[in-house]
Amino acid sequence: MKISMLVRVISLAILTIALSAWASALSASAPMPPPNSGSTAVHGVPNGAFSVAIPRDGTWQVVGELSFDRYISRQQIDLSSFALTNPAQVRVAYSGANAAHIDSVTLGGQTPFDVVGASESPALVAKKLARVDYDVIDAAGKTLTFIFGSNDQPRVFSLAARIESEQRLGVPIEFPTSNIYGAVDGTSRFYSYRLNSVPGTLKMNGDLNEENLGAPFFKEWSCSITGHPFNFTYGWVRNDAGNLYVALDFVPDNTYDEDEDYAAVYVKTAEGVVKFKVSVPERKWGVAGFVYTDKAVYQHKVYEFKIPLSQVGVSADRDGAVGLAFEAYGTFAICPGGSHFDPGTGTCVCSAGFHFVGETCVADAVVVPYPLVGPPRWSGLGSPPKNSKLIGTTGGNLDSPGGDATVTIPGGVLPDGTTLSISQPYPNGLPRGTFVLRGDGDHLDAVSFTDANGNPITSFSGNITLCFNLTPGEVANAGGVQNLSIQLWNGGSWVTVPMTATPPVPPATTTQVCTQFSSF
């Protein structure tokens, strides 16, 4: 063994022990659902492959290739028939032009104690490769050599990774999400921020951990067709005498793509809508960062804006309201126009009965007599996400996948063995039991019940409560709860149902808009 290699082995021994405690046990060649989302990723055709090689006779012998699509999955090669060095070394190379990332590497369950060729620092690489958690390292155009503690363990080499497609898919995500698929202009929806309601500044260094942010101005669930994790996006707004400050925690964007990543703030003024854009090279109105925050275990994009009030024609000496909208893109994107991702073709497609006009799905015929106000937040998924829970005679409750709604069942209403499910369906082909909250244009939830044999239950022995959970920004966006209403899809039309609104009790900030039902 060379002296330099021996020094590396000794100096990093402690790190090896720590990483072995972190390593995740992974099942053979199984696609991994997005962590923290409860959803299963849809996998399509491979976008490229990593070559895998081991040292032999003074050179590197390629022993196989591992192919990946845009979603993180795990592939394996059994190296038992090959003579490995001690310590064992495995080289992984990707020479394609597409973006590529590695989430975890193991050999016989061991994580590497050293990696040669990575862009990130050794300590950061060790942290990122310790487990499958969307905390990825860059692998595009790189040759990476992974060095393991010994070669006497089972010799299955496991690589959790992704390779993006050559063509970038999708469109940016907008907040409010009712603005998706359209240009943000004077007719768009805006959150309302009252000047001086949150006095303060931001440090403008791209690190939100150094800010005292408090409760978010908005919080929206975001999901993509680009292989990025599903998670919430958070926004904070404040101002001082001269500037408007905005912080965006774009948690779903876990890849650093330099000038391809950006965020924008739209301000509605008396003269029109003004756009302020920030990216890595565009720093006139703020700064971008790629950091860890308390919102996720992986590094992701954040943005800080500092917008002079003079640029939007307002002054802090009056407590007027300012209309704000937000936009973010970072190769994280959703399918355009209400379409969904088809893993068979690797493209976005319209559902049956719809066709593309430009980048928007248009109905061949009217399917829903009373169309929705704006597209649902989940229209970019290949299949609607769903939460399910077994509810017995004692009752219980269940939140929707994005947390925007809660169903509560009192005791004695359902028989034992009943399964409650909540999903966000597409606006075409809505099932009975679909509720929509109108006025905010962004909440659509289908509620269903099945007995122990899988048969649907549509009537109940008591009232069941459905509550939509609204942030202060969503209530302001609707112009107040008096502008909200709840409607039920009965299989042929929308029916307005009784509604109650409960304001938040501090320190809570969520307003609950509820209805009760005993049948569909």
Separation of alpha carbons 201 and 415, rounded Å:
55
In this prediction, what percent of the chain has a pLDDT beyond 70? 77
Assess whether pLDDT exceeds 70 at residue 353.
no
Cα separations in angstroms, 489 against 205, 221, 259, 429, 434? 48, 24, 44, 11, 5
Separation of alpha carbons 435 and 486, rounded Å:
7
Assess whether pLDDT exceeds 80 at residue 297.
yes
The residue-averaged pLDDT of 498-508 equals 87
DSSP assignment of 362-406 equals EESS--SSS--SS--TTTTSSS--EEEEEE-TT-EEEE-TTSSEE
- 3-class secondary structure, 125: helix
Run of H or E residues at 348: strand 347-349
Assess whether pLDDT exceeds 80 at residue 275.
yes
Separation of alpha carbons 359 and 356, rounded Å:
6
Axis crossing angle, helix 13-22 with helix 3-11, rounded to the nearest 10: 50
Ramachandran region of residue 198, left (φ > 0), alpha (ψ -120 to 50) or beta?
beta
Pairing between strand 156-163 and 73-78? Answer: antiparallel
Cα separations in angstroms, 98 against 48, 118, 166, 233? 8, 17, 6, 26
The structural domains of the chain, with segments of one domain joined by +, span 3-163, 173-334, 382-519
Domain 173-334, classified CATH 2.60.40, yes or no: yes
The reported pLDDT for the residue numbered 23 is: 32
The chain-wide mean pLDDT, for the chain, equals 80
Task: Supply 470's token pair.
Answer: 């609204």
Q: pTM higher than 0.75 for the full model? A: no
CA angle (354 as vertex; 351, 355 as ends), nearest 5 = 110
Q: Is 339 exposed, middle or buried (0-12, 13-18, 19+ CB in 10 A)?
A: buried
pLDDT tens column, 307-352:
999 999 888 877 788 999 999 987 655 555 556 655 555 456 666 6
Cα separations in angstroms, 316 against 144, 273, 426? 53, 19, 43
Run of H or E residues at 460: strand 459-470
